[in-house]
């Protein structure tokens, strides 16, 4: 898929068929995520791939905006290890870039996904850390529900000329 088509056509998909995604495709998605830029090339990311429906159910209890996990094939928790930083303070941007790469790859490969935030809300962060057995320093920024889409959404046009400024505000 053309890059511009992927960027402009990517939408949050919340309805899935329940079909599984092959492990080879999951690996490709993670390769795309890890190709993201990061400050000082520090790559402070870790990914927890959860296919177990019991884990999905627990996450739906922890974070009420993850109900689409019921029929998602996989949940990918995009996490940061701040101890891997060589340029401290940039982990949120780094993990966000990896997340966007993941979302674009999902769309380009014909799957659907929704980004569900966890950080900076303490309650879901700590409950997910406990659920997944994350090391103390590792922070889950979000969970991405990924699956075979059971809905189609047209590209949206979010361009707003009023938000563009040249040289000065």
Number of domains in the chain: 1
What is residue 92's predicted lDDT score, i.e. its pLDDT?
97
- Does a structural domain hold residue 162? no
What is residue 149's predicted lDDT score, i.e. its pLDDT?
98
- Does a structural domain hold residue 163? no
- Does a structural domain hold residue 141? yes
- Does a structural domain hold residue 69? yes
- Does a structural domain hold residue 160? no
In the chain, DSSP finds a helix count (H) and a strand count (E) of 5, 4
* Burial call 10-31: b when 16+ CB within 10 Å, e when fewer: bbebbebeeeebeeebbeebbe
Which portions of the chain are predicted below pLDDT 50? none
Flag whether the pTM goes above 0.75.
yes
For 7-58, the three-class secondary structure string (H helix, E strand, C coil) is HHHCCECCCECCCCCCHHHHHHHHHHHHCCCCHHHCCCEEEEEECCHHHHHH
- Does a structural domain hold residue 158? no
Paired tokens of 39: 């400050």
What is residue 40's predicted lDDT score, i.e. its pLDDT?
97
CATH number of the structural domain spanning residue 23: 3.40.109.10
What is residue 1's predicted lDDT score, i.e. its pLDDT?
80
CA separation for the pair 38, 85 (Å, rounded): 10
- Does a structural domain hold residue 155? no
Give the 3-state secondary structure of residue 164. coil
What is residue 166's predicted lDDT score, i.e. its pLDDT?
97
- Does a structural domain hold residue 20? yes
- Give me the domain span that covers residue 74: 3-150
């Amino acid at each position: 898929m053309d890059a511009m088509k992927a960027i402009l056509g990517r939408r949050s998909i919340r309805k899935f068929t329940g079909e599984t995604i092959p492990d080879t495709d999951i690996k490709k998605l993670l390769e795309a995520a890890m190709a993201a830029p990061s400050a000082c090339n520090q790559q402070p990311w870790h990914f927890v791939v959860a296919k177990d429906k019991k884990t999905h159910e627990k996450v739906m209890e922890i974070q009420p905006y993850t109900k689409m996990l019921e029929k998602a094939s996989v949940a990918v928790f995009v996490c940061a290890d701040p101890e891997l930083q060589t340029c401290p303070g940039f982990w949120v941007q780094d993990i966000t870039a990896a997340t966007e790469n993941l979302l674009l790859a999902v769309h380009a490969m014909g799957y659907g996904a929704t980004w569900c935030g966890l950080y900076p809300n303490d309650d879901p962060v700590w409950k997910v850390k406990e659920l997944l057995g994350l090391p103390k320093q590792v922070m889950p920024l979000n969970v991405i529900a990924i699956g075979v889409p059971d809905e189609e959404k047209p590209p949206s046009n979010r361009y707003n000329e009023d938000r563009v400024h040249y040289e000065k505000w």
